[in-house]
């Protein structure tokens, strides 16, 4: 879809308390694990985004009853680990890498065949990172010659646990193997080069699975069952990130983002922005279903460029589009390195951000695994989002600071992760209209 666009322009200082929609990673997993559990689970705060709805629709195709008594609530009638039914058509993950990679692990262990497909962006994303280790476990999955979807999964294979050291820091790879490991003979261990988000581990444990985990490590035994439980999904830090950056940059801003999930493997942006001089207060810390949450009060501050430590990159892997805009508006240079994974997200985010910022007059020197962004004035221009939700939202922030209007093309995919972004942004003070 290239028809929808936004025009972003100077608005007013951002004010108020904002309710950000539910976390995408947690929402995907909540439906998956509730579907596999014995008994009925209630999910509150479920993200009504296209990605997470696609996952719920796939479980309906697999024979799971899922009710929506009100928006953002799901009641899932679990069928047990052995209760999924063969689907009669291909399973469409939409734009969601998380959906496809986690489902690959689960479906590889089922007695039936299945096919996973996705949209144009997902159809270009690398899947060997999961099909490789799954094959070592005994799975049979065909991909295109270059390792991209569709995934044609041949069911009925007996899987065996492995001890896998992942070359990439990826929660999706880890989670995929743990799901396959639930069905495998023996133990499955995943070791990571850098710890990644541990939602799968925490949530499987909440569903009664015995799982041993610590940062960068997870191990479980096959043959376990899941016990239904209720899940409260926290607000998505990655969606909150756009308002954290915007409020930091727009003079006079003072916003509070309510009950945001602060899993330590997600909050690298706070560290990076604080290095740059941001004013972010963490208030009312609490726990929602085993996950830390808090309100974030963000006030305008003058940001200075910084070198982003490589050790923090995996903890802010989804936040680079927003960080690039903060860097463009900051004083001095910001240096990003060790972030080659950004090239295989919903778009090549290093290229998309570098090209987009350059077209607004910002100097950006792109490298294979990062960029140097030279802070300075931001001009107006036309931005290609490459159908990537986070690129589109990042350039809406750039438009708040630019000397001319920023036209952001192809914004339909914002609905994959942040339905209602435009309404919330306008209500907070953004200058934003349909193009």
Neighbours of 128 (CB within 10 A): 14
**Cα–Cα dist 91/57, whole Å:** 9
Q: Which residues are catalytic?
A: 318
Report the site for ligand S3P in 23-62 (rule: CB under 6 A). Answer: 25
Q: In whole angstroms, how far apart are CA 348 and each of 37, 195, 385, 427?
A: 37, 23, 10, 31
> CA geometry: angle at 140 spanning 137 and 142, to 5°?
130
- Considering only 140-148, 166-174, 217-225, 357-365, which stretch makes contact with ligand S3P by CB under 6 A? 166-174
Closest to ligand S3P by CB, 127 vs 362, is: 127
Question: Least distance to ligand S3P from the beta carbon of 290, Å?
Answer: 16
**Site string (341-360) toward ligand S3P, x via CB under 6 A:** x-------------------
Minimal distance, residue 102 CB to ligand S3P, in Å: 7
Binding-site string for ligand S3P from residue 66 to residue 105, where x marks contact by CB under 6 A and - marks none: -------------------------------xx-------
Site for ligand S3P in 178-237 (CB under 6 A): 197
Q: Which stretch binds ligand S3P (CB under 6 A): 12-20, 165-173, 186-194, 239-247?
A: 165-173
Distance CA 82, CA 26 (A): 23
CB atoms within 10 A of CB 71: 8
Q: How many residues at the interface with ligand S3P, by CB under 6 A?
A: 11
CB of 174 to ligand S3P, least distance (A): 8
416 binds ligand S3P (CB under 6 A): no
Non-local (6+) Cβ contacts of 371 within 8 A are: 324, 335, 336, 350, 353, 354, 364, 365
Please, where are the H alpha helices in 62-185? 97-108, 128-136, 171-181
d(CA 388, CA 352): 9
Between CA 79 and CA 65 the distance in angstroms is 9
Of residues 31, 184, 317, 327, which one binds ligand S3P by CB under 6 A?
317
If binding is defined by CB under 6 A, does position 171 make contact with ligand S3P?
Answer: yes
Judged by CB under 6 A, the residue of 95, 143, 157, 170 near ligand S3P is: 170
Q: Answer yes or no: are the C-beta atoms of 226 and 64 closer than 8 Å.
A: no
Binding site for ligand S3P (CB under 6 A): 25, 97-98, 170-172, 175, 197, 317-318, 341
């Amino acid at each position: 879809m290239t028809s929808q666009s936004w025009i972003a322009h100077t608005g007013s200082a951002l004010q108020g308390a904002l309710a950000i929609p539910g976390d995408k990673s947690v929402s995907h997993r909540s439906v998956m694990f509730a579907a596999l559990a014995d008994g009925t689970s209630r999910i509150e705060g479920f993200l009504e985004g296209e990605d997470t709805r696609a996952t719920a629709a796939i479980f309906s195709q697999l024979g799971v009853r899922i009710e929506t008594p009100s928006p953002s609530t799901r009641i899932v009638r679990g069928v047990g680990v052995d209760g999924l039914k063969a689907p009669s058509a291909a399973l469409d993950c939409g734009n969601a890498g998380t959906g496809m990679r986690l489902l690959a692990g689960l479906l590889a262990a089922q007695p039936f065949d299945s096919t996973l497909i996705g949209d144009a962006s997902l159809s270009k994303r690398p899947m060997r990172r999961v099909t490789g280790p799954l094959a070592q476990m005994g799975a049979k999955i065909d991909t295109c010659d270059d390792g991209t979807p569709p995934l044609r999964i041949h069911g009925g294979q007996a899987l065996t646990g492995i001890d896998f050291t992942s070359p990439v820091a990826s929660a999706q790879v880890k989670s995929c193997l743990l799901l396959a490991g639930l069905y495998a003979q023996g133990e499955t261990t995943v070791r990571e080069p850098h710890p990644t988000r541990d939602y799968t581990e925490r949530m499987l444990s909440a569903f009664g699975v015995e799982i041993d985990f610590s940062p960068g490590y997870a191990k479980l035994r096959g043959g376990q069952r899941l016990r239904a439980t209720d899940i409260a999904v926290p607000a998505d830090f990655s969606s909150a990130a756009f308002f954290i950056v915007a409020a930091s940059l727009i003079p006079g801003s003072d916003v509070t983002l309510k009950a945001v999930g602060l899993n330590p493997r997600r909050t690298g942006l706070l560290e990076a922005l604080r290095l740059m001089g941001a004013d972010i207060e963490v208030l009312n810390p609490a726990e929602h279903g085993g996950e830390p949450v808090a309100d974030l009060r963000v006030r305008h501050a003058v940001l200075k460029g910084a070198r982003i430590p490589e050790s923090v990159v995996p903890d802010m892997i989804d936040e680079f589009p927003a960080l690039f805009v903060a860097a463009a508006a900051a004083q001095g240079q910001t240096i990003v390195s060790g972030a080659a994974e950004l090239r295989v997200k919903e778009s090549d985010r290093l290229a998309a951000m570098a090209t987009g910022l350059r077209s607004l007059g910002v100097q950006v020197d792109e490298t294979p695994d990062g960029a140097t962004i030279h802070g300075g004035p931001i001009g107006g221009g036309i931005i290609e989002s490459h159908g990537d939700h986070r690129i589109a939202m990042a350039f809406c922030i750039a438009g708040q600071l630019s000397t001319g209007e920023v036209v952001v093309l192809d914004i339909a995919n914002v609905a994959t992760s942040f339905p209602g972004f435009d309404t919330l942004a306008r209500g907070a003070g953004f200058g934003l209209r349909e193009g």
